[in-house]
């Protein structure tokens, strides 16, 4: 009878690396400035921020186009002050968003590596289970053959 050498359950547990929560680990190692960059990246990329900028722009341009001339502070058609403020917002947000995206990308890579490690661990465990099943099948076939021999001897 051929038996397959298969590690025991205890050996599998002893040799495998425990699963870890990479999300909490990543969050724990973020500095305050990185947390701020992530917060800004997440909120600037929202519909709420888009709505805020849209309404601010519509309000600004409408006021400086439709209000009485004495109340206008950024004359049509140049809107120089509006352009200056808009460009300052863009200049300040662009590097912060890029930092946040880099942090999100690094986090994504860490998660992908952990997923790969878990998939490899699962594949090894499945392979061991399949070897155990194959071994059990061989043993069951041997038992059936032995029972068949006993039955054949009784019939004679």
Check whether 1 has a pLDDT greater than 60.
no
pLDDT at site 110: 93
pLDDT at site 80: 96
d(CA 154, CA 156): 5
pLDDT of 32-77, one tens digit each? 999 999 999 999 989 999 999 999 999 999 999 999 999 999 998 8
Dihedral sign for Cα atoms in the order 111, 114, 116, 119:
negative
Q: What is the pTM of this model?
A: 0.65
pLDDT of 10-32, one tens digit each? 777 777 777 788 888 888 999 99
């Amino acid at each position: 009878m051929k038996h397959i050498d298969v590690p025991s359950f205890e050996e599998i547990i002893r040799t495998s690396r425990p699963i870890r929560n990479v999300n909490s680990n990543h969050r724990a190692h973020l500095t305050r400035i990185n947390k701020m960059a992530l917060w800004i990246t997440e909120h600037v990329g929202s519909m709420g921020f888009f709505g805020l900028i849209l309404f601010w722009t519509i309000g600004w341009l409408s006021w400086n186009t439709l209000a009485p001339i004495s109340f206008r502070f950024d004359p049509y058609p140049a809107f120089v002050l509006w352009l200056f403020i808009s460009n300052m917002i863009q200049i300040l947000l662009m590097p912060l968003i890029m930092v946040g995206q880099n942090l999100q990308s690094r986090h994504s890579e860490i998660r992908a590596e952990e997923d790969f490690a878990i998939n490899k661990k699962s594949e090894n465990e499945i392979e061991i289970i399949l070897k155990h099943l194959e071994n059990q099948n061989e043993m069951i076939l041997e038992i059936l053959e032995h029972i068949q021999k006993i039955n054949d001897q009784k019939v004679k």
